[in-house]
Amino acid sequence: MANIRRIVLDVLKPHSPSILEIAKQLADLVGVDGIDISLIEMDQKVENVKITCEGDSIIYEEVEVVIKANGASIHSLDKISVGTSLVEEAVTHQD
């Protein structure tokens, strides 16, 4: 079975906990080497964030559990990289 090496998620979360706290929890998961969380939009009650996880063997279900345990919901899985190495998206003429 191929390993998940990168996932990019569109997530809706409450203001608390902070993105710092969620990033720390995700970074502590086995198979995760790094986390990047960017604030996309904020309103009175919630924040829309982009979460990027990288590692050698990410377990998606564990990432999902951490996100849901913090009162957040995954809107979409926007990108995934799987295999023995990371492959960057190729630029085409349509881009």
* CATH number, domain with residue 11: 3.30.70.1340
Yes or no: say if 1 and 31 are a contact pair by the CB < 8 Å rule.
Answer: no
User: Mean of the per-residue pLDDT values for the chain?
Assistant: 95
Number of domains in the chain: 1
In the DSSP assignment, the letter for residue 28 is T
The pLDDT value recorded for residue 88 is 84
In the DSSP assignment, the letter for residue 63 is H
Instruction: Please report whether residue 11 resides in a domain.
Output: yes
Residue span of the structural domain in which 36 resides: 4-82
Instruction: Please report whether residue 95 resides in a domain.
Output: no
The pLDDT value recorded for residue 25 is 98
Global pTM reads 0.92
Average pLDDT over residues 33-54: 97
Instruction: Please report whether residue 93 resides in a domain.
Output: no
Burial classification of residue 55, based on how many CB atoms lie within 10 Å of its CB (0-12 exposed, 13-18 middle, 19 or more buried): buried
Yes or no: say if 13 and 22 are a contact pair by the CB < 8 Å rule.
Answer: yes
